[in-house]
Each structure stands twice: as structure tokens, then as C-alpha cells.
Amino acid sequence: MVIGVDASRAVTRQRTGTEAYAYFLIQALIPLASEHNCQLRLYFNQPPHPDLFLQANHVEHVTIPLPRLWTHGRLAWELARRPPDVFYTPAHVIPYGQRVPSVATIHDVGFHFFPETHTRSQRTYLNWSTRHNGQNSRRVIVDSKATMEDLIRLYNLNPAKIDVIYPGIDPELHPVTDVGQLTAVQNKYGVIPPYLLYIGTLQPRKNLSRLIQAYMISHVDHQLVIAGKIGWRAKSLLDEIKNARSSLKQRGDLSGEDRLLLPGYIADHDKAALISGAEALLFPSLYEGFGFPVVEGNVCGTPVLCSNTSSLPEISNGAALEVDPLDLEGLATGIQRITGDEDLRHQLVSAGIVNARRFSWETAAKMVLATLKSAGS
């Protein structure tokens, strides 16, 4: 069987959620495809780094450089010219009008619940692409039961068509206990222990303005580190940070910039140490189809605070302190509890180690391959 895969999202150097999903899943599919006598045909919109994915007899790289209309123009033409037995898009959209049996992963529908966190054009495109993927896929893969239920309710998808397959976690993530390594990474990014960590893209859906406000009224002595790439519509957040820094200068022995730190994107090889060294990982997102940082905190042995909405209770499975992301006082109380209650901290770390075992890219790849073979047969 020839399996065509849209690998365009996997070539991104600074990978976040769905880009990491595409990258790690394809990595796990490559050896598995060989075992099952399947050919992988990977489609790229730019030349991939030579070391990105294994090039072997059963893996074909197809680079189609075209800056605009790549998916619905050039990729669609390539699929029509040389159709695989099944086409899979792990983090994008099925090309319009193509007839190859297809499978798509739909990661979330958060734009329905918090439309104010997206522009009008983004909401229009996300609604169209979600409906298009749902209608034109032989099977749909989702990251959580919560997303499956949303798709059934909002798009009337047949439940029998949907496969819930939990993603894995970066296999390089692990608890870091070496003091020298922890200190080196902290010094590199200007982090001052003890610190609280948010890690992810800086965008409205992540609820960071409310996190900063809760941090301010919690009066904990920890540094707040908000790590990640600046996303779209971040101006209001940056204004919030500027105002908070001005207020923070009036208390403590750190400047406002040191108390509330924005170190930017964290390199993959530094991530484990940064998470491991944190007093707690804070992830009060308004909506998530999965929520990678929650499990990343579990893997690294760091207590986690997360929202009690969307997929996050399903993914944390009791291994995080859950709070209402819209309740400012409740979020502040949660920050105080997770920094001050040692029994709670130990409980969350122990539960997190167990919870993290549920998520493996090898397991995810086996389930995805079964879905692809079913759709292509």
C-alpha cells in the first residue's frame, strides 16, 4: 500500500502543537510502515533538511516548491497525477476536489467556543476546513474524546467514522535532576528560581492575560516565565505584561522584567531542563483539543495546574490541579496552592508519572496506520 502524507507542517524549525504532532507522528510511522510493507510518500512544500526524515526504499520524498496555492493547487495536481492508495493530512487540510481516499486529523474546534480569540477570516477558514475535512475524509482522527464529541455535535459527523488516538510526547523529554544542567539552561534564558512556567504559543486562546492578573494577586514570590513564540493578536497581551512589570517593580527584589520573563521560543534540547526546574507548570488555556504542556509537565516530574474545560481533564486524568480558566480568584488560589501545599505537589507529581505512560508516539502510529489501511482498502 502506498500512503501519501502531507508533511508540509513538519518542516517548521520552531515546532509548536500541530507541527510537533506531524513531525513526531511521521517519525514513528516510518519504521512501522516498513514492518507492514507499506510505502510512505511524503509531500513537502519546501526542501526538507536532509536529516529530517529517514530516506529509505520505502520512503519517498516529494518536494513541490510553490509559495501560494500549494495545497489546493500543486499538491492536488500531484495527487491526481500519481495517486497513492490513501492520503493523510496530520495537521492541515485535504486538497479541494481530489478523489484519493483520505484521512485527516482534526485537532480542535476551539474557534466555536471562543470566537473572540480569532480574527473573522481565521474563523471562516477554520470552519470551512474543519467541515471540509470531516465531509471528505473516509475516516477522521481526533486527539481526544472531547474533540470527537464537539465534532459530532457541531458538524453532525458520524461517530463510527471517528477514531480517538492520543498523541505521544517528545521521546527526548525526561526529568532533569542534574544541577549543572538545570542552572545552565536557566542562565541561558534569564530564568531565576523559584519560577512558575507557562510554555506554548502566546495567543489569546491560551488565557495568558488572566494568568498574569492571577499571578499578580496571588502575591507568590516566584518568577513567572511565559515561554514561547509570539502568536497572532498578541498586542493586548504585551500591553498587559508591560503594565504588570510596572506594578511589579514596586515589590520584591527583582525588576519587573525579571519577575515576569518572556524568554521567547525554547529550543527542544532545553525544554526538559526548563520544565523540570519549574516549581509548577501553569496551563490555564481556554480550550484545547489535547494540551501537550500538561503531559510534558507530567513527564518531567513537575506539578501541573490546568483548566477544567475541554479535553484537559481527560488528558490530565487527575494528574493536575484543575481550575476554572475564567475564574480569576480561583486561578490565583490555584497558584497559591500548587506552590505552597507540599502534599498536593507530591501527589500531582506521582500521579503525573503514571499518567504520562498513556501517551506514546509508537502506540499512536500503530493506531494511525491501522486507520489508514482501513481507509485505503
Percent of the chain with pLDDT over 90: 75
CA angle (58 as vertex; 68, 15 as ends), nearest 5: 45
Cα–Cα dist 161/104, whole Å: 11
pLDDT tens for 38-54 read 999 999 998 888 778 87
pLDDT on residue 113: 87
Q: Tell which residue, 286, 352, 271, 347, has the closest CA to residue 315.
A: 352
**What confidence category does residue 204 fall into, taking pLDDT thresholds of 50, 70 and 90?**
confident
pLDDT on residue 252: 59
C-alpha cell at 209: 492575560
Residue 67 pLDDT exceeds 70: no
pLDDT tens for 333-372 read 999 999 999 999 999 999 999 999 999 999 999 999 999 9
pLDDT tens for 79-97 read 999 999 999 999 989 999 8
Work out the average pLDDT over 310-331: 97
Grid cell 475564574 — which residue? Answer: 327
Q: Identify the structural domains of the chain with CATH numbers, from first to last.
A: 2-168+360-376 (3.40.50.2000), 179-356 (3.40.50.2000)
Residue 233 pLDDT exceeds 90: no
pLDDT on residue 128: 93
Percent of the chain with pLDDT over 70: 96
Q: How far is CA 253 from CA 115, 196, 263, 336, in A?
A: 40, 17, 20, 20
Residue 217 pLDDT exceeds 60: yes
Mean pLDDT of the chain: 92
pLDDT on residue 255: 61
pLDDT on residue 237: 78
Work out the average pLDDT over 198-208: 90
Work out the average pLDDT over 253-274: 84
pLDDT tens for 96-139 read 988 999 999 999 998 888 887 778 888 898 999 999 999 999 99
**What confidence category does residue 18 fall into, taking pLDDT thresholds of 50, 70 and 90?**
confident
Q: Peptide bond before 194: cis, by omega within 30 degrees of 0? A: yes
Cα–Cα dist 357/198, whole Å: 22
More confident residue, 115 or 287: 287
pLDDT on residue 76: 94
* Total residue count of the chain as it appears in this document: 377
**What confidence category does residue 310 fall into, taking pLDDT thresholds of 50, 70 and 90?**
very high
pLDDT tens for 137-186 read 999 999 999 999 999 999 999 999 999 999 999 988 999 999 999 999 99
Chain-centroid distance of CA 312 in Å reads 12
Residue 253 pLDDT exceeds 60: no
